[in-house]
Amino acid sequence: MHTPDLVFRGRRLTSDRALVMAIINRTPDSFYDNGATYLETRAQDAIRRACAEGADLIDIGGVPAGKGPEVTAAEEIARVVPTVEWARETYPDLVISVDTYRAEVADAVCRAGADIVNDNWAAFEPEILDVAAQHGAGYICSHTNGLTPRTEAVKPVYDDVVGAVIDGTTELAKRALERGVPREGIMIDPCIDFGKNSYQSLELMRHTQALVDTGWPVLMALSNKDVIGETLDVPVGERVIGTLAATAVAALHGAAMFRAHQVVETRQVAEMVASIAGTRPPAHVVRSV
């Protein structure tokens, strides 16, 4: 299950296990941490900690995915750009992703040193593809079933949710490639819980292999999401075990990267799964040898 080499603005990520993308929220109202890293100094501390814990890359976001107060493009830039600039200066080789759906913001963060445009809203602003291409940045292709940013689906219906996600993400990947985004920097993300209920999200996780078989590297963003909470009937603060179980299954079926709040735990799951699969040797063997 060797992870395919990924290259983002000249920075190559290669590994014998799935990669770990650490979440850094520059928002006061994220669903998981409720603003724990909203302040710039706390965001910097979180980046230091993520790097020390073995994150392969970071993902900085300035707008919550769900409903909430409006965040203008200017405010989003003010939240995110200083963090990107600091991270680039402090960690010159670190791969930096920014979670945004706005072309204007994508341009600003790429100018500040970001390597990946993580667009959770499926090119709602089509110009975002051109921005990624102009900067030679990576681009993550999501599936949201046509939702407007920061809205939630009402009783989503699919004839075949797996087929719809594959069709949507791969078509967007082809569009990105045609617009000039480098092939080795394009990934697909089924967007668990975005435009899907928990039954549909579980169906997608169950068919991770089908996503991998498209040939596009797969990013899975599972961390502490509602599908975990509803499946196990646990609140946000008690979803880590379920998240890691889902991570193990998706990693075994070839997902290339996991967006995660818990870096150490996620990396250990990825390493253990890779060692069971035979792509990664054990780190330290002394017993009975």
- Residue 289 domain-assigned? no
Please classify residue 284 by burial: count the beta carbons closer than 10 Å to its beta carbon, then call 0-12 exposed, 13-18 middle and 19+ buried: exposed
Question: Do residues 128 and 88 touch, judged by C-beta distance below 8 A?
Answer: no
- Residue 9 domain-assigned? yes
Walking along the chain (289 residues) 10 residues at a time, the average pLDDT comes out as 82 96 91 82 97 98 89 97 98 98 98 98 97 98 94 92 98 98 98 96 98 98 97 97 98 98 98 98 94
Give the chain's domain count: 1
- Residue 283 domain-assigned? no
- Residue 124 domain-assigned? yes
Residue range of the domain that includes 120: 3-277
For residue 3, the model assigns a pLDDT of 66
Tokens 């291409």 belong to 133
Domain of residue 194, CATH code: 3.20.20.20
Question: Do residues 42 and 86 touch, judged by C-beta distance below 8 A?
Answer: no
Write the CA distances from 157 to 160, 161, 164, 199, 200, integer angstroms.
9, 8, 11, 11, 9
Closest CA to 140 of 32, 2, 256: 256
> Which residues, in sequence order, are CB contacts of 77 under 8 Å at separation 6+?
62, 104, 105, 108, 109
**What is the value of pTM for the model shown?**
0.96
- Residue 288 domain-assigned? no
- Residue 64 domain-assigned? yes
For residue 67, the model assigns a pLDDT of 84
Closest CA to 15 of 185, 252, 220, 256: 256
- Residue 156 domain-assigned? yes
- Residue 50 domain-assigned? yes
CA 157 – CA 203 distance, rounded (Å): 13
Please count the CA atoms within 13 angstroms of the CA of 89 that sit on its side-chain side.
8
For residue 116, the model assigns a pLDDT of 98
List phi, psi (to 5°) of 30. -70, 150
